[in-house]
Structure 1
Amino acid sequence: MFRKKTLFILGAGASCELKLPSGEQLIPLITNFLQLSRNSFDLEGNKELIGYISDMHNNNYAGLSIDPATKAVYSPNQLIETVQFLRRALPQAISIDNFLDAHKSDKCLIFLGKLAIAFCILSAERQSALFKKETEQLTIKAETIKDTWYDKFFKMLNESVSTDNVDDIFSNISIISFNYDRCIEHFLYLSIMNYYKLEPEAAKIILSKLQLYHPYGQVGMMPWHKSGFAARFGGSDHIRAEQLLNHAAQIKTFTEREHDPAFVEQMQRAVMHAQTIVFLGFGFHPLNMELIRPKNSVVNNIFATGYRVSSANRIMLQQETRDWLSRDDRLPVHIYDLSCADFLRDFERPIRFG
């Protein structure tokens, strides 16, 4: 367990250790999915995308709109034009999040962007070490995660926690994940069942106590969530157009999340009350930092991975992080050029007991 209130803030680099794409790697996956053109009266390009669009048109799912309230219908020409723009411009973006925010008034672009994110992330979940087919038993094999930070994190969590007090395993932990995937919650679900010999329903009750936030949403809620569109990890074996729309509707842009002040306040309070903050695989993009900036802070230690980040940039990030919390140079900010797994192995005790 953790002695102090500890907040983990996860970026795409945290999921990379389970073979999911980084923010940079996600961009070509999205542009590869978004292939659409016209040959006479027929659409050409990615067969899966064409299939989804044709199915949506034939069944008029939500009027081809991510936002059912708008009932917007996008013509094939509008879709083609937007797809071609996305393919040209997206590779110049820092991340898909920043790109969607830059074009927040273009509803067709937002629709296609979310559709592509949902498809690519679900595909990545299915290729990860945590995925199980619908016909397979939900278990976890220790050897598949032994070289990842997930393995070390769970060992940090379960030390001195028995079956008698497992209900309190998350008592000093909260997580903000800027990732669309559900790797961390699915991993914890499988691990708690496996390690404590629990039935799924008992594990779900324990997981429901974890303070876990996805600022930009996720491709579906996990089964223990009490509201929202629930979807198994990796999605269905054959995702239909209606399902993909539901997955995509769970994704939020920066502007959409700003319009949800209650949720933003919950995240900011998690930052405000944390005594230790740990950034794993996080890019420190200003848009993301601003979204969770607290009104004040009691933190006394910050730890962060800076994998392949230059010394000069790490020094700058240290000061920017202090400024983010309106704190002076006395606040320790530890940023090291290490993978998430190596970082937790090297800093386990300072993080848990420091």
Structure 2
Amino acid sequence: MTKRTVFILGAGASMPYGFPSGHKLVGDIVGVLKSKKSHFSSWGFLEKEIDNFRDAVVNSVTDAIDDLLIQRKEEFLEIGKLAIAHALTYYEIEHKLYDRNNPENWYGYLFEHLKGMSSMDLEGGTNSIITFNYDRSLEHYLSMASEGFYGLTDNVKKRAIQNIPIIHIHGSLGLLPIHSGHFPYEPTSDTEVIFGMSRNLKLIDEEADVSLLAKAHSLLQKAERIRFLGFGYHYTNLKKLEFTLNTKQCSDIKGTAYGLSEPDMDKIRTNYKINLDTNGKNILRFFREWDPL
């Protein structure tokens, strides 16, 4: 029986497929507020409101747009969610997921691992994913890869892979058509579609889907193995997961540490008992060279 595993994803998990870091996303948001001002006007924002938000983003010198929106939610939450959706949709480019020359394609590594599992383990919920990202790149990849490998006919393993639980703690750009949603995985400038995508984002605690948080907590409580991938280990995110409380029973917790300083790693090890990859490998190398699935 395969260990019950929970993967916890941060922004670094999507970056090998062209998605931006938090710092880059902030710059993209400034860009769309300037170049697509007419879109924001069509959503009912006055030019002064658009300019005020853009100035706040620039002057706040933040690398995490969520932090600014939480701090000034009364002023900027709604326009901020629209700006995030607008900026991110341009990155949902399907062919970037299937680039065979991508040296960091850990989605492919994960899919090969899932293919090798028994139907019983796959259907038994052995693998689950908690993500703090808004994009749908991983679920789209797994859905399309399993469709391509197993074909269009019904197949137990195909269905199990396509239905692996992926919990978006802060919401996502919307359900994909393959999951009965209305938001295709493709760039769009359609203001109605972008508006709909923005409604799915849940940045502040008041908007949080309590049932999703409860499910994430339950998955952590049952986990025998936890892997942090491309994660920044921010206190607020770990607090949302009630990580220390919900992982008391799990002794196998590891994570990537790309870009983290030694003092930061020491603090994470001490506070959360996470075994970090001190060599700072990317996710694919983390699995291949240090912690094979």
Shared fold by TM > 0.5? Answer: yes
By how many angstroms is 1:314 displaced?
1.4
The structure whose residues are more often helix, as a share, is: 2
1:227-242 to 2 correspondence within 5 Å? 230-236=182-188, 239-242=189-192
CA–CA distance in structure 2, aligned partners of residues 116 and 166 of structure 1: 42
By how many angstroms is 1:159 displaced?
1.6
CA–CA distance in structure 2, aligned partners of residues 33 and 119 of structure 1: 7
CA RMSD across the alignment? 2.6
How many corresponding residue pairs? Answer: 290
Alignment counterpart, residue 55 of structure 1, candidates 6, 18, 42: 42
1:239-270 C-alpha deviation (Å, 9 max, x unpaired): 32221111111111132344x32221111111
What is aligned with 1:291? 240
> Are residue 253 (structure 1) and residue 203 (structure 2) matched?
yes
1:321-340 to 2 correspondence within 5 Å? 321-322=272-273, 333-336=275-278, 337-340=280-283
> Are residue 31 (structure 1) and residue 22 (structure 2) matched?
no
Distance verdict in 2 for CA 1:266–1:103, change over 3 Å: same
Distance verdict in 2 for CA 1:268–1:285, change over 3 Å: same
1:158-201 C-alpha deviation (Å, 9 max, x unpaired): 2244xxx3893673001011111111101101111122234599
Distance verdict in 2 for CA 1:200–1:111, change over 3 Å: farther
CA–CA distance in structure 2, aligned partners of residues 204 and 222 of structure 1: 17
Q: Secondary structure at the match of 2:289?
A: helix
1:72-87 to 2 correspondence within 5 Å? 74-87=45-58
Q: Is the CA contact 2:139–2:162 (under 8 Å) kept in the aligned structure 1?
A: no
> Are residue 150 (structure 1) and residue 107 (structure 2) matched?
yes
Q: Secondary structure at the match of 1:129?
A: helix
Distance verdict in 2 for CA 1:33–1:204, change over 3 Å: farther
Aligned residue identity for 1:152:
Y
> Are residue 114 (structure 1) and residue 56 (structure 2) matched?
no
CA–CA distance in structure 1, aligned partners of residues 117 and 194 of structure 2: 42
What is aligned with 2:290? 347
Structure 2 spans left out of the alignment, 5+ residues:
none
1:195-274 to 2 correspondence within 5 Å? 195-199=149-153, 205-207=159-161, 209-226=163-180, 230-236=182-188, 239-258=189-208, 260-274=209-223
Structure 1 spans left out of the alignment, 5+ residues:
36-45, 57-63, 65-73, 131-139, 323-331
Deviates more, 1:95-104 or 1:144-153: 144-153
Aligned residue identity for 2:192:
E
Aligned residue identity for 2:40:
I
Q: Is the CA contact 2:228–2:254 (under 8 Å) kept in the aligned structure 1?
A: yes
Aligned residue identity for 2:191:
A
CA–CA distance in structure 1, aligned partners of residues 82 and 156 of structure 2: 34
CA–CA distance in structure 2, aligned partners of residues 194 and 253 of structure 1: 35
1:126-170 C-alpha deviation (Å, 9 max, x unpaired): 27613xxxxxxxxx56x1556421121112222244xxx389367
What is aligned with 1:105? 74
CA–CA distance in structure 2, aligned partners of residues 214 and 79 of structure 1: 28
CA–CA distance in structure 2, aligned partners of residues 340 and 32 of structure 1: 30
TM-score by length of 1: 0.74
CA–CA distance in structure 2, aligned partners of residues 219 and 79 of structure 1: 22
What is aligned with 1:303? 254
TM-score by length of 2: 0.88
Alignment counterpart, residue 263 of structure 2, candidates 305, 312, 317: 312
Q: Is the CA contact 2:11–2:133 (under 8 Å) kept in the aligned structure 1?
A: yes
